[in-house]
Amino acid sequence: VVVLAASSGGGLVAYADSQPDQPQGFKKKKVVVLGTGWAGTTFLRNLDSKLYDVQVISPRNYFAFTPLLPSVTCGTVEPRSVVEPIRRILEKKGGDFKFWEAECFKIDPANKKIHCRSNMGTNLDGNGEFLVDYDYLVVAVGARSNTFNTPGVTENCHFLKEVEDAQKIRRSVMDCFEKASLPYLNEEERKKNLHFVVVGGGPTGVEFAAELHDFVTEDLSKLYPSIQHLVKISLIEAADHILTMFDKRITNFAEDKFGRDGIDVKTGYKVVKVSKDAITMQNPATGDITVPYGMAVWSTGIGTRPFVVDFMKQIGQANRRVLATDEWLRVRECDDVYAVGDCATINQRRVMEDISEIFRVADKDKSGTLTVKEIQDILEDIYVRYPQVKLYMKSKQLNGIADLIRTGKGDTEKESVELSIEEFKKALSLVDSQVKNLPATAQVAAQQGQYLATCFNKMQTAEENPEGPIRIRGEGRHRFNPFRYRHLGQFAPLGGEQTAAQLPGDWVSIGHSSQWLWYSVYATKQISWRTRALVISDWGRRFIFGRDSSG
Ligand code: FAD
Ligand code: MG
Ligand code: MG
Ligand code: MG
Ligand code: MG
């Protein structure tokens, strides 16, 4: 079936169902998606595949449910249960998708081309490289683990980012136990092999330490009774506390629980070097200390992938650390390229940069002052364009516009008076302090992928009926409202069937009941009924038989 509809551009748009040949003069736009992680996969699942010719490029042909990777490191959940083949996801959707298992190593925005390399044998040129054209490019390549150039980390530490990493960690834990059991080792060597070091006290490091502790106490202690008292788990964090992105109550609970569990939490220590057998860390009070270890997991943060750094140089973002997009997720200074998820950050516009323009738009009667009514009329638009204003009013417990005006006029003024530009500036002068970068989480990545798909699906209708907020001089017409993040809460599993949950509205809950909430949320969030069934049966198997220790 081919339906033709007039588009605002005067041309014809075709919505073709299973029709390989398009009417003359029309070609579907090519959308190229880089990456099959949270952002890329969510984008693809929500994209109306009839509208575009879609090509997906990723070095791995599956989606991985990263929140369960820490569970894979100790065999609580099997690797198979946390991945879903991308081809299965695309096939379920139907429509025009192509997938290439390859890595993009260069973006050429001037010619709208992507340079890719497959690691599966060679083409005629002999290097497995190929070029892909795009009309629209969606960069969703995630981030790399960041070593902060600490010597020896890449060579000697495990990362925990991919499914393979989790599998390697699992084998390595078992190797350490088997090594420590060999007859020819002395006590000190056994201790060294059973010293597990986790560097980085963020959610991933903490969850891994908790998983490992459970694995050791619940399962391995029975299998290795003669050496289990030699096991030590250290968690090293450069800041003063672990889990700093969580509520203070959660941080305290986690530190206390780990203390009781015998996990050695070393805060205020910075790792400066890792060799094959020992880790060197620094603390202003103690100076350098070097400790032997058996296995180390490095989880201190993320950095930008090298080919993205190269792309940033090409588009004038060389002085930035992370690729910047605007609030519509369009890469700054680069037409038709979008970026979602961990590989980018939104460069939120400051109210103060646009204040005169906002004043001009608000002052409908051109009186040179703003009445309460005039401000009220534009407030919703301001909230949409500058979410920091709403956050500011919330943080200062300002109930409405009159409160905000009072902060501009001083407390003594009556409500009816009008605001000059100076007073308007004063009222809003502090709101930009509420601009925050969104965290690098699956929640953000998925919401961005979904938002961008909605924009792509509505591209044509939005041309005719734009719904975007106030425009600032020099910006093009906005067809959509900007991306807005809805925080749904955050979990920190702490081991022993206890989880800390921080839900919107500063609602904190810690303990066994939140563990059940965690189980149910993570079962619900599974990408397919197949992985849901696998994960739930893994949990059940673990409850009944314990974790598997072969490997
Ligand atoms: P990713 O999901 O990392 O996907 C990137 C994709 O790009 C991958 O498919 C990759 O193969 C591909 N790619 C890489 N290089 C190239 C290239 N050169 N060309 C083409 N494709 C490329 N977040 C939460 O919200 N809750 C949690 O509980 C949670 N737990 C986590 C636990 C662990 C162990 C980890 C590592 C992360 C966790 N996160 C969690 C964070 C979350 O996984 C990330 O924020 C999320 O994956 C970001 O999505 P993304 O699509 O940007 O990147
Ligand atoms: Mg992705
Ligand atoms: Mg992912
Ligand atoms: Mg991001
Ligand atoms: Mg006026």
The one-letter code for the residue type at 273 is: K
Closest ligand 1 atom, residue 41 Cα? 51
Report d(CA 294, CA 58) in Å as an integer.
34
For the chain, the maximum distance between any two Cα atoms, rounded to a whole number of angstroms, is: 90
Q: Concatenated DSSP letters for 402-430?
A: HHHHHHHH-TT--TTPPBPHHHHHHHHTT
- From start to end of 322-408, where are the E strands? 323-325, 337-339, 344-346
Give ion ligand 2 contacts, CB < 5 A.
35, 37, 39-40, 140
Pairing of strands 270-274, 12-16: unpaired
Question: Does the pLDDT of residue 273 top 80, yes or no?
Answer: yes
The ligand minimizing its distance to the Cα of 442 is: 1
3-state helix, strand, coil in the chain (%, to 5): 40, 25, 40
Q: Can you tell me whether residue 452 is helix, strand or coil?
A: helix
| pLDDT band at residue 397 under the 50/70/90 scheme | confident
Residue written as token pair 């919330």: 394
Question: Does the pLDDT of residue 473 top 80, yes or no?
Answer: no
Convert the pLDDT of each residue in 83-137 to its tens digit.
999 999 999 888 779 999 999 999 999 999 999 999 876 666 668 899 999 999 9
Strand partners, 370: 419
Here the tokens at position 449 are 């992928």
Supply the CATH classification number for the domain 351-434. Answer: 1.10.238
Choose the CATH number for 2-59+102-143+304-346+440-464 among 3.50.50.60, 1.10.630.10, 3.40.50.20, 3.40.50.970.
3.50.50.60
For the sheet containing 158-159, what is the strand order? 158-159, 295-298, 195-199, 232-237, 264-267
Instruction: Give residues (CB < 6 A) around ligand 1.
Output: 34-40, 57-60, 66-67, 69-70, 103-104, 140-142, 160-161, 204, 305, 307, 341-343, 440-443, 445
Residue written as token pair 């993570």: 522
Which has the minimum average pLDDT: 11-15, 84-88, 98-102, 483-487?
11-15
The whole-number pLDDT of residue 413 equals: 52
Pocket test for ligand 1, best of 141, 160, 337 (most atoms within 8 A of CB): 141
User: Which residues touch 79 (CB under 8 Å, ≥6 apart)?
Assistant: 72, 163, 166, 167
| pLDDT band at residue 292 under the 50/70/90 scheme | very high
Burial class (CB in 10 A: 0-12, 13-18, 19+), 409: middle
Q: What is the dihedral of CA 380, 476, 34, 23, to 10 degrees?
A: 110
User: Which residues touch 165 (CB under 8 Å, ≥6 apart)?
Assistant: 69, 158, 159
| pLDDT band at residue 158 under the 50/70/90 scheme | very high
Contact 328/471 with Cβ under 8 angstroms?
no
Distance from the CA of 165 to the center of ligand 2, in angstroms? 18
The ligand minimizing its distance to the Cα of 83 is: 3
**HSE (side-chain half, CA atoms, 13 Å) at 199:** 27
Select, from the ranges 259-273, 407-421, 504-518, the one with the highest average predicted confidence (pLDDT): 259-273
Task: Please give the mean pLDDT across all residues of the chain.
Answer: 89
Q: Tell me where in the chain the CATH 1.10.238 domain(s) lie.
A: 351-434
Here the tokens at position 96 are 């025009």
Distance from the CA of 161 to the center of ligand 3, in angstroms? 9
| pLDDT band at residue 492 under the 50/70/90 scheme | very high
Q: Tell me where in the chain the CATH 3.50.50.60 domain(s) lie.
A: 2-59+102-143+304-346+440-464
Convert the pLDDT of each residue in 306-352 to its tens digit.
999 999 999 999 999 999 999 999 999 899 999 999 999 999 989 99
Q: Tell me where in the chain the CATH 3.50.50.100 domain(s) lie.
A: 153-302+488-545
Contact 300/200 with Cβ under 8 angstroms?
yes
Q: Is 153-302+488-545 a domain of CATH 3.50.50.100?
A: yes
The whole-number pLDDT of residue 502 equals: 92
Convert the pLDDT of each residue in 25-66 to its tens digit.
568 999 999 999 999 999 999 999 889 999 999 999 999 999
pLDDT above 70 as % of the chain: 91
Q: Can you tell me whether residue 502 is helix, strand or coil?
A: strand
Burial class (CB in 10 A: 0-12, 13-18, 19+), 347: middle
Convert the pLDDT of each residue in 220-236 to its tens digit.
999 999 999 999 999 99
DSSP tag of 322: S
Helical H segments across 429-466, by residue range? 442-464
The whole-number pLDDT of residue 9 equals: 34
